[in-house]
Structure 1
Amino acid sequence: MKNWKRMNCCHLLNQRLIASFVVNMSRLNMYVFKIHIRICVSILQIVILQNLCFTKFIHLYLQNQKEQVTPRKLSRGQFWLKLEAEGTYQCTVTGLIFDVTKAAVIKYSVLSWSKYADYVKKPWIVGGPIFDVSCDSASVLTCIQFPHSLSLNDHESDMTFKVLHIKSTGPAIEPSVDHSMTHVKWHVSSLSPVGPVIQTQEPVHYNGAVILYKVVNNHPSLSFRVYVATNNDSFIKDISNAVKHSDKKFIKIDKPPVCKKQLQDGKRYRLISESEAEITPEEIEFVDGSLLKLKSYFEVYLEQPMEFTLSLIELESEEIVWKAKLRECDWILHDQNKNERKRNTISNRRRKSSNSLSDEEFYNKRLKDGTKAKTTLTDQQLMTLAKKMGKDWKEIGIECLKLEMKDIQQIQAKEEEVNVHKFLMLEKWRKGEKSNGTAQNLYDSLKDHVSYEIIQILEGFL
């Protein structure tokens, strides 16, 4: 009996142990299961996050994909692009970026900020080149990104980016959509001259460029102009025009122009030469001269032709901002080619003249042509030219004929047909030039900016 009781107790104890073991194993399994669930959820969250990041990365990557396109250059200084389909396209020459919703033809040109200086008032300053853009279907061109000449670095948060839009109704400061380290994005409201402007309380840092020109003459000495500019197409175009219209003749010396350190507004810089040279002025205080009609420069003079090195130094830090070595071959080859072309031209003219005209006839023709070229243009001739001008006549008036925006606005205020407006613009130029309102003078002003057809008409007036 006692043995039976003992066996019964053992059996009950075993049952309890087994039940306890089963319960504990169940709890353990539930705990492990929960851990497994948590691990799976964490892995799933990581996968989802990775997918979201990857999707965002792909979206940003596709957003930043821009097809590089090279424009055709027209005779009047304009660029011409034919875009075949919807997309984002970047001009390889100017850096402009266009967003279009379908195929489009876009024309654009770099303008001078100095013509619109009255409209850039403090605290606003120029941020990059100003462009005149037109499109065959304005609604197709949705956004334009303008290159800026600023070095942002840590100063980006202190700046406000907008654009100056020169409308037919007058100038307006319009908001930008976005900006990057290189561009300011603007949603197209209408097509007319537009350029980026900024507002900041901090000193402005610019991406700089140094542009070199050599005086062409018969003297053995060397004379150069050295321009220190922002890397801004409008500024650089102004320099080119200033050199072109100078009383002296120049050739551009091709050296790497980009400064290896940013130029800072208000800081002083000195140009030095390793060879003995006269440099005037000795130093300059840098300012962005985009709005100025007259651009400042260093004049470098060497009595004897030789190789020499020029360096631009920031006075405060004594760091070299830009450096270039100039060699005789940089300008001798140009002079040789120029002389060769001149000899060929003179030879061809002499050959043609001797075959077609006697000496007396040739002299009389030159005398007559000279008198004709000095005659002031008539109203009839101005109207002939006016009828051939395109939609860019206002820009031509401001950029080439030195008229002000207010002159154009006064002309447009008159309720006349557009060809009459063009004629009145030409007439105002003629009045301003007085006795110099000649075909030759107008030809010299327009030759790089108007169509081949207008050039032919002007040549017929000479």
Structure 2
Amino acid sequence: DDESCWFQCSGPGRYQCRVSGLVFDMTGGGDVFYRVVPWNRSLLSPHGKKPAGPLFDISCQQRSVARLHLPHCEVRSTGRCHFLSVAHLHDEGVEFIRPERITETHIVISITGFSAFGNVKDEDSPPDPVRALVLLFYKPPADPDVTSFLNLLLLPGNVVIRDLKRTRKKLFGLETFIDAPPHCKLRPEETYSLSTSPAGESVLVQPTEAEFDPESYSSYFTSIQVIFSSITGNIKLSVKEKETSCCAWERRVCLLAHRVKPGLPSDEQLKETRTRIIDGISEPVLQSLLDKLLEKKVLSDSEAVEAEKVRGDKGRVLVDTVRRKGAAASSERNWLLTGNRTKDPVQTSDLKNESL
């Protein structure tokens, strides 16, 4: 459901959850329920510990989970994984479990009882770089305003993205998650700055820098926000260490592909952006799209002939045809919405925006 995952297996084996990254070693069949819950830091501080991963509340009535693999974000080559352990929070308080082993991605522990488990590390552990994520959420303009917002978050690499999206939707409403490669390495408590290209008066970055907090597993607020006061197509984003100016993360993002109202069905999105698509599509690409629609039998012969006759308005005819055809033209509709309309639709893979 919205907050909990339910994993059901009929026999022994090793199973990994795509949502959380958790891995379960099962001795037999069972039903496992788990969800992310907030940390109570007051239980950790007296022991000199701090969070190093999400806290998972886990239950299994059959008690058939023999080992639990919790994802971590440490860079193993630094040799700092020995600062890691697992906190088990229960009714009597907290106990700290030494790992059986630590892989490149997971801490492995044996368990018998259940309740809440989460990675922790020593408070005095050195601030070595950790695997991190730079995540982008875009809020397109609301007509007739042209102002849009790009929200950038600096987060540890083992955060549960599904919970992040759900929480942000509750806090900030509809926005589009931009699927740009997020992985990088960031240094705890280091200040990072964001620069954009192009820059200028129509692009405002606020604040221009932010500190990376590797313990931000339950705070999903924006680190840096970019405000666009005019329509912007491609933009290059660079995250750099303030002290050394070393680039930690750099990507080029196409915002035009996301300038639709999030949450709308794709046919309604196409209707919203109809004029801009018609103005930007070329004659060779139009012809390729017409051929593909005819080949897939989305268009009948008579409809294709009619589209060919209306030379000046061919773009308008084809866009409206794709919009009306529903599921039969879903791939072409998604292609038109991606902003890759200068390329041949036969050769361009479908790019689907994920709207929260």
TM over 0.5: yes
- Contact kept, 8 Å, 2:52 with 2:215, in 1: the verdict is no
* 2:130 matched residue in structure 1: 206
- Contact kept, 8 Å, 1:149 with 1:182, in 2: the verdict is yes
Q: Larger relative contact order (C-alpha < 8 A, sep ≥ 6)?
A: 2
Ranges in structure 1 where 5+ consecutive residues have no aligned partner: 1-74, 345-462
The 1:184–1:168 alpha-carbon spacing in structure 2 relative to 1, beyond 3 Å, is: same
Counterpart among 47, 53, 68 of residue 144 in structure 1:
68
Please tell me the residue identity of whatever aligns with 2:223. Answer: Y
CA distance in 2, matches of 1:243, 1:155: 35
Which residues of 2 match residues 94-105 of structure 1 at below 5 A?
A: 94-105=20-31
* 2:139 matched residue in structure 1: 215
1:230 corresponds to 2:156: yes
Deviation at 1:315, TM superposition (A): 2.6
Question: What whole-Å deviation, never above 9, does each CA across 1:348-369 have from its counterpart, x for those lacking one?
Answer: xxxxxxxxxxxxxxxxxxxxxx
Please tell me the residue identity of whatever aligns with 1:328. Answer: L
* 2:51 matched residue in structure 1: 126
* 1:258 matched residue in structure 2: 183
TM-score (norm 2): 0.66
Question: What whole-Å deviation, never above 9, does each CA across 1:342-389 have from its counterpart, x for those lacking one?
Answer: 9x9xxxxxxxxxxxxxxxxxxxxxxxxxxxxxxxxxxxxxxxxxxxxx
* 1:188 matched residue in structure 2: 111
Which residues of 2 match residues 321-400 of structure 1 at below 5 A?
A: 321-333=248-260, 335=262, 337-338=264-265
The 1:78–1:291 alpha-carbon spacing in structure 2 relative to 1, beyond 3 Å, is: closer
What secondary structure is seen at the aligned counterpart in 2 of 1:240? helix
The 1:204–1:125 alpha-carbon spacing in structure 2 relative to 1, beyond 3 Å, is: farther
CA distance in 2, matches of 1:291, 1:326: 26
Deviation at 1:299, TM superposition (A): 1.1
Please tell me the residue identity of whatever aligns with 1:101. Answer: T
Counterpart among 149, 161, 165 of residue 240 in structure 1:
165
Ranges in structure 2 where 5+ consecutive residues have no aligned partner: 272-356
CA distance in 2, matches of 1:79, 1:336: 24
Q: Percent identity?
A: 21
Which residues of 2 match residues 81-96 of structure 1 at below 5 A?
A: 81-96=7-22
Please tell me the residue identity of whatever aligns with 1:290. Answer: S
Please tell me the residue identity of whatever aligns with 1:311. Answer: S
The 1:268–1:247 alpha-carbon spacing in structure 2 relative to 1, beyond 3 Å, is: closer
CA distance in 1, matches of 2:105, 2:165: 24
1:302 corresponds to 2:225: no
CA distance in 2, matches of 1:103, 1:292: 32
CA RMSD between the two structures: 2.9
How many residues were matched structurally?
264
Deviation at 1:318, TM superposition (A): 2.4
The 1:87–1:243 alpha-carbon spacing in structure 2 relative to 1, beyond 3 Å, is: closer
Counterpart among 193, 197, 205 of residue 270 in structure 1:
193
- Contact kept, 8 Å, 1:271 with 1:310, in 2: the verdict is yes
Please tell me the residue identity of whatever aligns with 1:170. Answer: G
- Contact kept, 8 Å, 1:129 with 1:147, in 2: the verdict is no
The 1:249–1:95 alpha-carbon spacing in structure 2 relative to 1, beyond 3 Å, is: closer
1:320 corresponds to 2:243: no
CA distance in 1, matches of 2:70, 2:220: 25
Please tell me the residue identity of whatever aligns with 1:302. Answer: F
The 1:230–1:191 alpha-carbon spacing in structure 2 relative to 1, beyond 3 Å, is: same
- Contact kept, 8 Å, 2:74 with 2:80, in 1: the verdict is no
CA distance in 2, matches of 1:181, 1:98: 17
- Contact kept, 8 Å, 1:165 with 1:172, in 2: the verdict is yes
The 1:270–1:294 alpha-carbon spacing in structure 2 relative to 1, beyond 3 Å, is: same
Please tell me the residue identity of whatever aligns with 1:136. Answer: Q
Deviation at 1:134, TM superposition (A): 1.8
CA distance in 2, matches of 1:297, 1:330: 23
Deviation at 1:275, TM superposition (A): 1.5
Please tell me the residue identity of whatever aligns with 1:305. Answer: I
What secondary structure is seen at the aligned counterpart in 1 of 2:28? coil
Please tell me the residue identity of whatever aligns with 2:129. Answer: H
- Contact kept, 8 Å, 2:53 with 2:215, in 1: the verdict is no
* 2:327 matched residue in structure 1: none
TM-score (norm 1): 0.52
